[in-house]
Every structure is written in C-alpha cells, then in structure tokens.
Structure 1
Amino acid sequence: MPARQTPLLALDERDRKLAGHLLAEFLDDHERNLPDVARIVPDVDRDVLTGLLQEPFPEQGIGVERLFRKVSDEILPNSTAVAHPRFLAYVQGPPNGIAPYAEAIAAAINQNCNFWQLSPAASVIERSVISWLAGLFRYPGTAGGILTSGGSIATLNALTTALHDRRPDFRRTGLQDARPPLVLYTSKEAHRCVEKAAAILGLGLDNVRQIPTDADYRMRVDALKAAIQADRAAGLEPFCVVATTGTVTSGSIDPVEAIADVCRDERLWLHIDGAYGALFVLSDRKREAFSACARADSIALDPHKLLFAPLEAGCLIVRDSEKLRAAFAVHSSYLTVNDDPLMLDFMNYGPQLSRSFKALKVWAALQTFGTETFRKAIDHTLALAQYLAERIQAEPHLRLIAPVPLTAVCFRINNASDADHTALLATLASEGTALLGPASLNGRKGIRACITNYRTTREDIDLIVNRLAHHARTAEPSLPG
C-alpha cells in the first residue's frame, strides 16, 4: 500500500511530537515562572504589537517551532499575568491546573454542542455539570440550564426567559403593542450587565429602577416595595427583580429571603446575579448566606471565577427548565433528530446554535481535583480576605470603607485625595507589588483588592499591606489634612 499522505491542514508525525513537546514545555515554564514575574501588567512593547497588527500573514507557513517561539517572544511578554498571586484587581482567578489539557481535548474533538447527534457525550457532560450546580442551591428536579460565555450572557438569557414567561406571546408580538411598559428592579450596586440586558431586549433603560442600598450596600427592601407600588400606580407593569449575591465592588449580598417574599407577593420573576458570589455556597462558612437562592426563578453564576475554569465558562440555572426552553426553542427541520431522554438539544435552551464544549473543562476539573478541593480553595480566599481586612484595620494610615462579606476588600488611605489613590494604584503595578483596582462606594473613592486567586498567600497579603503602609507614611506630610 502507498504511504498515507498527511492531509493539508494536519501535522505530520514529526510535527505532532514537536508540538506536543513544545506545548508541554511552555505550560511547565509558565507554571514555574509565575511567582517570579516582575510585572503583573506588562511593560508593553508597542513596536512588537504594531508588528503583530500590521505584518501580513505568510504565504508559506512558519512551522510549529517558529510559531511557539513567536508566542514565547512576542505574545507572552505582552500579556497580563492574570495567574500571578498578587493579581487582585478583578474577580478573575487563575485557571486550574488541568484546564489547559481539557481545553486541548475539547479543541481536538471539536464537539458542536447544539443538538445531541453532533455531541452525545458532551450533551450528557453539560447536563451533569448543570445538575450538580443546580443541586448546590437545592433546586428541584424540574431545574435546568445552559453554560454560557459568562454572567452577562447568563443574565441576558435569564431576563429573556422572564420576559417570555410574563408575556407568552412575546415571540410573535415583541414589544410592539399597546400594553403597559415592563419594569425591572435591581440594586444601584448591581453589575451593569443588568442595564445592558434591558437595553438589548428593548425594555429601555428608563424602565430599569436602581433601588437604593443600605449602609452595607445591600438592596433596601422597603425602597423596592415603594418603587413597585409607585410604578403600578403610574400604570406600568413590574415584572422582574434582579438581586445580587456578591456585588462587583464590595461583595455585598442582597437580602434575598426578603426580596423573594416581595416577588412572591407581587408575582415577579426573581433572578439572582451570582456571577461573583454564588459559588461561595460551596463553603461551609458561607452556605447559609446563600440558602434563600433556592427561592429564585433563575441564577447566573460563573465557573470561570470560583471553579477556576479558563475563560469562557458562565452558567444560567432556571428553576423550571421548560420556561427556558419556551423562550429559546425554534423548530428547524434540517436539524431535527430523534428525541433521546438521555440527551439534550442545548440549541433549544439558549440563543446559540454553534456552541463549544465548555462543560468539559468544568467537568474535568471536578473529576481531577474533587469537589472538596474546590471547597478548600474557596475557603482559602475567604480566609485571606479576612486577614487582609484585619491587616488594614491594624494600620493607622489605612481604613476599610465597606464590610467584607466575601473576598472584596475596599479601603482608603487616610487624608489621601482621589488622585493620590489613583497614583498609588499605578505605582503598585509599576513596581511589581500588586495589581489592585479602584473602588467607588456612595461617592467615596478608594482601593479594592479582590482575592479570587488560589495562588495568593499570607506572605503576598503582608507584602501588599506593608507597601501600602510605607507609601501612605511617606506621602502623608504632603497630603491635605
């Protein structure tokens, strides 16, 4: 028999072995070098990036070895070190150790997770992940959901479902009729994805009520009730409340139990934006704080945060999966296959047809490390946040500006201006101490550290606080008194 030719876009045996070796070497070097990265935010080489933007793609390929060299020499040095233990500016943790390998497998088998015939095992894996996540919140057997790109799309899909549930003829009529405008309620501390979703769905930002918060930055239930009553009196139609379990700035947890009572009495859909905080339910010390989430109609959460999956991996869970299906299912004769009770056609539970195998990296990590390891990792971040808060409280030049219910720690330097805080953030980043973020709460500017990084240690916290205290002491004589 003649030798089999290598297909045009496949690697031959030699290049496969070389690519595997170089990839393993890259991942190993990346892991080993993380603690020694001098700059979390790179000193961007603009000439290199300009070259990457402007250089034409080659007519003849550069090959595997030169590709990896290009990645190591040009891309990696100009990338933010998000896995660094002192990357604490955002709610974004490092990927878990098995994730790159799971992603490679998903890319190799390239399952299209829209209808089950294209992805039978993937369909079951995604169902398994969603069932486990729903069980964390004690949802009933009717629950279902779908993995998404993140919490923003999960919230958009949830509000789409709530809209269809309120107006079952929405698919036919849209919002182009004479019925009263629908009104959505959320906290003034809520993530902007709620407003974005309202704008995309045509609800209009004028019909989004930002409810005031209490001293701990939680939605005020009395203000929510008053707003609903005022809108009904004005001839409008309240339809949904979005509560937040872990606001993006301070990590505050809205009083879900009381809000659920309001939604029950007023016949409103209750959605929980738990993109940051919901998966703290895994922690024994925080589980009770999330018990009322069981009453919500839908929950958005992000495995690419506290399950440390690589981007993208969000999730929407809906108490009644048939309502999710009613919002998104569309019959297409060319996609029809026989129903199978073991499988699910996920194209009927969200807006996408073509979908990647996102569930594999979540499933693989839970299989590899076990759920107990994730509980320990989450408890580790909670303990470090409390330690950071204690260190700040012990420093005479620093003060907390919000409670620390989860892992976001917001603070100020005494007598420092807003410009001083901005300048200090830049200094900490440029000297390689840490990447922290700005905070704004009730008009007060400050600094925010959010510990969602299983690599962070007490030594990292000590280094950060010691540098903060040093800068504050050094700058104090020149600061306004």
Structure 2
Amino acid sequence: MPVDYVSGVKFGIASYVACNIVLFVSELVLTDEERARAGERLVTLLERYERDLPETPVLPEPDRDRLAELLADSLPEKGIGVDGLFDRIEDTIVANSATVAHSRFLAYVLGPPNGIAAYTEAIAATINQNCNFWQLSPAASVVERSVLEWLASVVEFPASAKGILTGGGSLATLQALATALNDRVPGFRGTGLQRPGPPLVVYTSVEAHRSVDKAAAILGIGVDHVRHIATDEENRLDVAALTAAIEADRAAGRQPWCVVATCGTVATGAVDPLEAIADLCAEQELWLHVDGAYGGLFLLCNEMRELMAGCARADSISLDPHKLLFAPLEAGCLLVRDGTKLRAAFAFDSSYLTVADDPLLTDYMDYGPQLSRNFKALKVWSALQAFGVEAFRATTRRTLELAQYFARGIEAIPGLTLLAPVTLTAVCFAVDGASPAEQTTLLETLAAENTALLGPVLINGKHGLRACITNHRTTAADIDLILARLQDVAAGRG
C-alpha cells in the first residue's frame, strides 16, 4: 500500500475523530434536564416515604399481578426515561417492599437506616470506588481503616488488630474460620483439607447462628464436625459441656481447633459466658471467634461492658454496623486481634495489582476473599460524623430500655408468659394454652391489622412470639399499642 494512501487514511480518521469527539455524549449520561428531574423525583420520593411511614403498612400485601409484570417484561430495547423509571419504582418496587423503617417492624435483628444513609449511599455510587488496592481508592482506604480502628477500640482490641468490612455477620464468620484454619492447621494454605491428619472439629452452642454450620460446610470442615453444645437455663453455652466435648474428641483422635461463642443469640439475645470460654480456649490452645453480629455493639453502653468483657479476649469477632449503627445493608465487619494472621490467610501476590506499600493506606484485597469491593465504609463513617457516637450510644441504650419495658408489660398481662430472660432486646413470650398454629395465626393477624410485625420463636421446645427492638424509631407508645392488643388477645382466651 502506498505511503501517501496510508497517510491519507490516518489523516482522515484523525480529522473525523477531532471533528466529532466534541459532539459525542454517552448514551448512559443524563442530560442537564434529566439530571435535574431525577434529583427532583428522588428528593420527592425520600420525603414522601419519611412522611407517610406512620400510615404505611408494616408488611404490605404484595400486588402479585404487578410483580409478575416484572417477570413478563422482555429485555427492553428502548428505555422508558427518568419519569417512567421513577413511576415504576414507586408503583411497583416501593409499594411492594417491607417497611423496615416502620416503628413496629420488630420481627428481626434489623433496624431502619439512619437519616443520612440515603445521601451517602448516593455519593458512594457516584464516585464508585473499588476498595481493593489503595491506588484505586485512596480516600476510601483511609476511611475504612478509620472505621475499623474505631470498632476495634469499642471491643478493646489491641493496636495490632486488623479487620475488613464485609457483607454481614455470616461472611465475617466464614472469613474468621478461614483465618483460624490457616493459623491453627500447619500447612493449611498449601494442602487445605487434602492433608493426612485427624478430622478437625469446631464447637458452638445449640443457639448459635446457622452461619457457623454454613461456614463449616463451605470450608470443607463438614457439618458433622460442628459440635452444637447444650445451653444452660439462660440459653448460654454450657462451659462444662463444652469442656467434656473437647476432651471426648481428643480422646477419639479428632482435632479440636476453634470455638465460636455468641454475644447475643438471635432467638433470645443470650450472651455466652465469654470469659470462661476464653479461659478454656487459652488452656486448650483453640481459636476463639465471637459472633457479635447482634450484640457486640451494645458495648457502646457502659452498663453492658461487664457482661461482654470477654469479647476483648477473642482471637476474632464479627460485628454488624448495619444493625446497631443503623447503616443500610450491607455493612458487616470482621476484626482479628493479630492482624498479621488475617493477612496471612488472604494475601496473594499478583503483578498486575502491585503498588508500593504505604503506611497510611491499606490494600483490603489482602484481608478478605474479594477483589472488587464497594465503599461500605462511607455510610458508617458518615453517620458517625453526622450524628456523633453519643447519638448511637443513646439509641442503643433506649432499645435496651424499651425491651425491658416490653418484658414488664408481658409479665403484667394474665395469659402471657415470658419464655426467656431479656438480656438484650429480644423479648420472647407465649400466649398461654395457644397451639403453635394459633400463635402463627396471631402473628399473621398482628401484621395484617398493622399492629406490628413480630416473629416466631422456638425455645426449649416451646413455641412463642418474639419482638426484637433494634429499631431507632420505636417508642414507648408503640410498645403500649402492641401490649394493649396482646392484652385483648389474652383476655379473649380467658
């Protein structure tokens, strides 16, 4: 091909690009008018949602026809625009979503997001930081480190502690057990479970979260090698039974390596005897992980520190900022007392992701299984900046007080019986003489009439109802309304 022809082709392409680049606008960028309209619709939606909360059903009846339309849609070739999208979101998505922010949404350990959350989530989406290695997210790296160091100080971990924000307590427990395996089983990174040696055994209570079983299954330990230890009269792990189980496994040629204690069981809020368990783990050279997803952040309240002091002695602990810090989902956390052990479990070399080490900045890809990670820390950090720790301390204390208030109300109503001590904010009770089916029907009735969304519970073979007050919007008036309705129910059975 002649040189002048090639040059002409190159010149033509360059001229075309130069002439047209200023005219190009991505199809995925809103115009000035569309951006203004989207902002207007979003603010209107947020304000209406907040204003209408008291009258909104706590658990709306799903419009199944409208939801089915979502599945009937084919992949759209043409978009419906900003207004069309917001119309669909309001009419179909919001209208058919559980009202988690309702003050009587009390079925789960799940609170509503704090007031600044929607705005900071929008900022996180806008800057879209990939929180894997620090070059891609320098400010995010420091913000996450700040949040983790603050959380470590709450549980009184030493300066050597490191951690990572996760999708929730289940993932934090999975990552904790992976760290424990790497630390307590020689050569585990190289051989995994394809090693000669005795079967590995992990211990937890019968009241522990199912994430322990899931982690054992995922990591290849096997659910058959999870010992579910009996609890005492307060639904706490029985240390004597734990000791006996460890001794029996050693005698049978198996290898105990980890104990998962619970700081706030999901069903009753029981706190295992953490100090005694920590003593036993130290004596037996076992890794101690504390599942503090529900209860750990009650350490914000000084009156809970004696009960939960053993958290500070754990090798690792999971916390959930999306519970008592009221961050929107997802925001879990894993902290490891010796941060070098967390990094040893998850750090791998890759030349295409290497940047210089920096004492200020952290490569979080080396502290967990993910490479691509969103900016979870911003919503936690922003809420602490906006409201201050004292606001969260006051809120957590109020939920504890409301739970005790609810429990006293249950005890004062003939025909209702508390099923467990109220240690944190879970209040478990039963309607005397009611069958499991009748109590299930009562739950459905309370939700349908918008009295409250409560949940079922099974404690020591007894079926009942459970209210979990981890909602910063709940007031004494809400509790009074529920108690009055329950009193009518109990009286109707008399």
* TM-score interval, smaller chain: over 0.9
Tell me whether 1:463 sits opposite 2:484 in the alignment.
no
Partner in structure 2 of residue 87 of structure 1: 105
Superposition map of 1:211-226 within 5 A: 211-226=229-244
Q: Is the 8 A contact 1:6 1:12 kept in 2?
A: no
What stretches of structure 2 of length at least 5 have no aligned partner?
A: 1-18
User: For residues 489 and 444 of structure 2, what CA distance do their matches in structure 1 show?
Assistant: 12
User: For residues 151 and 215 of structure 2, what CA distance do their matches in structure 1 show?
Assistant: 23
How far apart are residue 322 of structure 1 and its match? 0.6
The alignment partner of 2:129 has SS state of coil
CA spacing shift, 1:168–1:124, aligned 2, 3 Å: farther
Q: Is the 8 A contact 1:246 1:274 kept in 2?
A: yes
Partner in structure 2 of residue 280 of structure 1: 298
Partner in structure 2 of residue 357 of structure 1: 375
User: For residues 446 and 260 of structure 1, what CA distance do their matches in structure 2 show?
Assistant: 33
How far apart are residue 373 of structure 1 and its match? 0.2
How far apart are residue 4 of structure 1 and its match? 5.5
User: For residues 76 and 343 of structure 1, what CA distance do their matches in structure 2 show?
Assistant: 39
Q: Is the 8 A contact 2:217 2:223 kept in 1?
A: yes
Tell me whether 1:294 sits opposite 2:305 in the alignment.
no
How far apart are residue 415 of structure 1 and its match? 1.3
User: For residues 284 and 27 of structure 1, what CA distance do their matches in structure 2 show?
Assistant: 35
Identity %: 62
How far apart are residue 472 of structure 1 and its match? 2.1
Q: Is the 8 A contact 1:243 1:254 kept in 2?
A: yes
Partner in structure 1 of residue 35 of structure 2: 16
Q: TM-score, normalization: structure 1?
A: 0.97
Choose from 215, 225, 237 the match for 2:255. Answer: 237
Tell me whether 1:204 sits opposite 2:222 in the alignment.
yes
Q: Is the 8 A contact 2:414 2:490 kept in 1?
A: no
Partner in structure 1 of residue 471 of structure 2: 453
Partner in structure 2 of residue 107 of structure 1: 125
Partner in structure 1 of residue 152 of structure 2: 134
Tell me whether 1:404 sits opposite 2:404 in the alignment.
no
Partner in structure 1 of residue 360 of structure 2: 342
AA at the equivalent of 1:52 = L
User: For residues 143 and 483 of structure 2, what CA distance do their matches in structure 1 show?
Assistant: 43
The alignment partner of 2:259 has SS state of strand
How far apart are residue 150 of structure 1 and its match? 0.1
Partner in structure 2 of residue 125 of structure 1: 143
The alignment partner of 1:286 has SS state of helix
The alignment partner of 1:138 has SS state of coil
Q: Could you say what the CA RMSD is over the residues aligned between the two structures, in angstroms?
A: 1.1
AA at the equivalent of 1:406 = L
User: For residues 167 and 269 of structure 1, what CA distance do their matches in structure 2 show?
Assistant: 11
Partner in structure 2 of residue 423 of structure 1: 441
The alignment partner of 2:317 has SS state of strand
User: For residues 422 and 167 of structure 1, what CA distance do their matches in structure 2 show?
Assistant: 46
The CA deviation string for residues 86-135 of structure 1, in whole angstroms up to 9 with x for no partner, is 00000000000000111000000000000000000000000000000000
AA at the equivalent of 1:19 = A
How far apart are residue 34 of structure 1 and its match? 0.7
Tell me whether 1:156 sits opposite 2:174 in the alignment.
yes
Partner in structure 1 of residue 13 of structure 2: none
Partner in structure 2 of residue 49 of structure 1: 67
User: For residues 75 and 115 of structure 2, what CA distance do their matches in structure 1 show?
Assistant: 33
How far apart are residue 414 of structure 1 and its match? 1.1
Q: How many residues of Structure 1 are paired with residues of Structure 2 in the alignment? A: 475
What stretches of structure 1 of length at least 5 have no aligned partner?
A: none
How far apart are residue 5 of structure 1 and its match? 4.4
User: For residues 67 and 439 of structure 2, what CA distance do their matches in structure 1 show?
Assistant: 30
How far apart are residue 285 of structure 1 and its match? 2.0
User: For residues 461 and 72 of structure 1, what CA distance do their matches in structure 2 show?
Assistant: 30
